[in-house]
């Protein structure tokens, strides 16, 4: 059966309905690019606009129907994910522009064009998001189309490809891995394709069991670029001029162009500056500004009223074969270790032999793994190991970032031997530095080597990062201590992103009393 305009209308309506069924789940797992809890809302609004554009139409011409749907999605797109979805539909419309109907090979080409349009809209494409899903679908489309005898078989293969890409998003994006979720936009795109396939086979698909979702209290803080802006412009200058200006002031910039207007979505810390830049480059037709801190507060309020399931890493202790006990310094690190599945997190400053033995005894399993996260605590952990009745393994993590890497590699249902080897290997990929305050200023240490003493925390931190990055590394994480001002960390993160363009820079509140700043590269 070929794809016609009327069939496309049915597919889009079904895709929008399936997205709506998962709206709250997608909102709850929204972590990247900012944990503001609106990915489900944005995708539903965008998909519904595309569907409604064809709802009252019996347009049989595929090209005209696809163009109408793409234009409606472009006009009504919301948020980062919505604009990306609108660009995927734009790619579809470009592929179908001259077609009354499309066969499987031509639909495969539409996926490829959708991939190209989505990536073209991103100033800084990030893998581990819905971009990865459409890329893998677009790259495999021609091969899958050649192997499929019908459009139904082809779309089924696309759905499988999409979900496999979704399942890999935590491996590609550390922000997701730390929280224990898949990317919300990526999962939303997979649900959308599932809905389209559901209409094509003309039978309802069962809804999936609700995904495990994170406790919003443990999501990363919204410190940098807290304002979400959606702008519509008529530009007087070439696109490149406004993009260069905005890229220096904002993050998560998505730029989409229509026949008359351009639509821009971004996150910024100074909306007034962004608006002024836009008005210097053209006519500002519409601006929508939201404070994501307010959205986050609403998310927390709703959680208090009706708690969502805890994240995947917080598994039922009874089902864990090898529990992990962690020594942590700082409330931020303690919360992070708990969120990654640690059975017990003990305050490193207060830990003693009695508290460690009690924690081991409470684990109630055949074997336990201890993470000291500090060479000064090795002896205490080894002493607890000697005196424990149950077998205990001490993984000699030297720093808290090594402990984080170890827990990211931990698997709750794996045995002690497998977990110990996985976790030990994971710690080898992490290099850690610190910045401490002293009477002479700020002392920067990479590994065990002092690299600088500076009057500025930021300068000292950048010197440490340069040293740590000599051996490469794709992810930089800044763990500020309890005495560091958020504005100072935001400034440092921005400087690090400008200097280390090929790395992802994250800020995770550590809360440690000392050092002022812990830095990791992996």
Distance CA 382, CA 380 (A): 5
- Cβ–Cβ < 8 Å for 409, 423: yes
Cis peptide before 33 (omega within 30 of 0): yes
Q: What is the mean pLDDT of residues 12-19?
A: 91
- Cβ–Cβ < 8 Å for 230, 287: yes
Note the pLDDT tens digit of each residue in 473-493: 888 999 999 989 888 988 998
Angle at 323 between CA 322 and CA 327, to 5 degrees: 135
Token representation of residue 127: 């893998």
Same fold, 3-212 and 227-298: no
Q: What is the mean pLDDT of residues 174-184?
A: 82
pLDDT at 438: 81
Residue 421: which residues within 8 A CB-CB, separation 6 or more? none
Distance CA 226, CA 503 (A): 21
pLDDT at 212: 58
Is pLDDT above 60 for 445? yes
pLDDT at 360: 87
User: 153 or 31: whose pLDDT is higher?
Assistant: 153
User: 332 or 398: whose pLDDT is higher?
Assistant: 398
Q: Please name the CATH architecture into which domain 227-298 falls.
A: 2-Layer Sandwich (3.30)
pLDDT at 9: 92
Q: CA distances (Å), 131 to each of 138, 189, 257, 306, in order? A: 10, 10, 18, 32
Residue 56 pLDDT level (bands cut at 50, 70, 90)? low
Distance CA 515, CA 443 (A): 10
Note the pLDDT tens digit of each residue in 205-235: 766 655 556 655 556 655 567 788 888 888 7
Residue of 521, 514, 508, 504 whose CA lies nearest to 479: 508
Residue 428: which residues within 8 A CB-CB, separation 6 or more? none
Residue 365 pLDDT level (bands cut at 50, 70, 90)? low
pLDDT at 270: 83
Note the pLDDT tens digit of each residue in 154-173: 999 999 999 999 999 988 98
User: 69 or 21: whose pLDDT is higher?
Assistant: 69
User: 340 or 111: whose pLDDT is higher?
Assistant: 111
pLDDT at 38: 80
pLDDT at 314: 40
Torsion region of 237: left, alpha or beta (phi above 0 gives left; psi -120 to 50 gives alpha):
beta
Cis peptide before 515 (omega within 30 of 0): yes
Q: What is the mean pLDDT of residues 8-24?
A: 89
pLDDT at 274: 83
pLDDT at 296: 66
Residue 307 pLDDT level (bands cut at 50, 70, 90)? very low
Which region among 142-156, 292-306, 357-371 has the lowest average model confidence (pLDDT)?
292-306
Distance CA 292, CA 230 (A): 13
Torsion angle (degrees, nearest 10) of CA 228, 116, 172, 194: 90
Strand 101-102 vs strand 262-268: parallel, antiparallel, or unpaired? Answer: unpaired
pLDDT at 194: 92
Note the pLDDT tens digit of each residue in 63-98: 999 999 999 998 888 888 999 999 999 999 999 999
Q: What is the mean pLDDT of residues 261-275?
A: 84
pLDDT at 311: 34
User: 220 or 2: whose pLDDT is higher?
Assistant: 2
Domain ranges in the chain are 3-212, 227-298, 317-427, 431-521
Would you say domain 317-427 falls under CATH 3.40.50.510?
yes
Query: The domain 3-212 belongs to what CATH superfamily?
Result: DhaL domain (1.25.40.340)
pLDDT at 198: 87
Centre a 10 Å sphere on the Cβ of residue 409 and count the other Cβ atoms it contains: 17
| Residue 415, SS3 per DSSP | coil
Is pLDDT above 90 for 305? no
pLDDT at 302: 58
On average, the pLDDT of the chain sits at 85
> At 127, phi and psi to the nearest 5?
-80, 160
pLDDT at 306: 46
Maximum average pLDDT range among 180-194, 195-209, 241-255: 180-194
Which region among 213-217, 270-274, 514-518 has the lowest average model confidence (pLDDT)?
213-217
Q: Answer positive or negative: Cα dihedral of 20, 22, 24, 29.
A: negative
pLDDT at 395: 95
Q: CA distances (Å), 435 to each of 427, 457, 462, in order? A: 21, 7, 10
């Amino acid at each position: 059966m070929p794809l016609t305009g009327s069939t496309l209308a049915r597919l889009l309506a079904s895709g929008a309905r399936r997205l709506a069924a998962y709206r709250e789940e997608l909102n709850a797992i929204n972590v990247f690019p900012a944990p503001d809890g609106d990915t489900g809302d944005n995708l539903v609004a965008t998909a519904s606009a595309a569907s409604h554009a064809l709802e009252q139409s019996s347009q049989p011409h595929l090209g005209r129907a696809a163009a109408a749907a793409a234009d409606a999605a472009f006009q009504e797109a919301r948020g980062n994910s919505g604009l990306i979805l609108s660009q995927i539909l734009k790619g579809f419309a470009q592929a179908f522009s001259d077609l009354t109907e499309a066969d499987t090979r031509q639909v495969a080409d539409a996926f490829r064009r959708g991939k190209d349009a989505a990536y073209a809209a991103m100033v800084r494409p990030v893998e581990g998001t819905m971009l990865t899903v459409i890329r893998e679908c677009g790259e495999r489309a021609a091969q899958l189309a050649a192997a499929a005898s019908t459009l139904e078989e082809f779309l089924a293969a696309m759905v499988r490809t999409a979900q496999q890409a979704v399942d890999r998003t935590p491996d590609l994006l550390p922000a997701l891995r730390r929280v224990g979720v898949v990317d919300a936009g990526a999962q939303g795109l997979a649900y959308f394709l599932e809905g389209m396939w559901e209409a094509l086979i003309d039978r309802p698909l069962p809804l999936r069991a609700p995904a495990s979702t994170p406790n919003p209290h443990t999501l990363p803080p919204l410190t940098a670029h807290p304002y979400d802006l959606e702008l519509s412009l008529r530009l007087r200058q070439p696109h490149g001029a406004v993009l260069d200006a905005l890229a220096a002031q904002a993050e998560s910039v998505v730029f989409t162009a229509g026949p008359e207007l351009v639509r821009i979505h971004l996150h910024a810390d100074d909306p007034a500056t962004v608006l002024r830049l836009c008005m210097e480059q053209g006519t500002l037709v519409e601006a929508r500004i939201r404070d994501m801190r307010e959205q986050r507060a609403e998310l927390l309020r709703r959680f208090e009223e009706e708690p969502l399931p805890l994240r995947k890493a917080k598994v039922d202790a009874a089902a864990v074969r090898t529990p992990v006990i962690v020594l942590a310094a700082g409330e931020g690190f303690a919360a992070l270790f708990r969120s990654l599945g640690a059975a017990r997190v003990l305050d490193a400053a207060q830990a003693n032999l009695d508290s460690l033995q009690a924690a081991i005894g409470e684990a109630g399993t055949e074997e336990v793994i201890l993470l000291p996260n500090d060479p000064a605590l090795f002896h205490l952990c080894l002493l607890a190991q000697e005196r424990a009745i149950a077998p205990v393994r001490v993984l000699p993590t030297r720093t808290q970032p090594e402990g984080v890497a170890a827990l990211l590699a931990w698997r709750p249902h794996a045995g002690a031997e497998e977990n110990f080897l996985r976790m030990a290997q994971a710690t080898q990929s992490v290099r850690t530095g610190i910045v401490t305050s002293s009477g002479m200023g700020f002392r920067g240490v990479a590994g065990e080597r002092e690299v600088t003493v500076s009057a500025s925390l930021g300068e000292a931190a950048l010197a440490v990062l340069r040293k740590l990055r000599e051996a490469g590394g794709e992810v930089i994480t800044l763990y500020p201590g309890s005495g560091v001002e958020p504005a100072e960390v935001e400034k440092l993160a921005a400087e690090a992103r400008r200097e280390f363009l090929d790395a992802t820079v994250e800020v995770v509140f550590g809360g440690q009393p000392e050092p002022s700043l812990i830095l990791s590269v992996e």
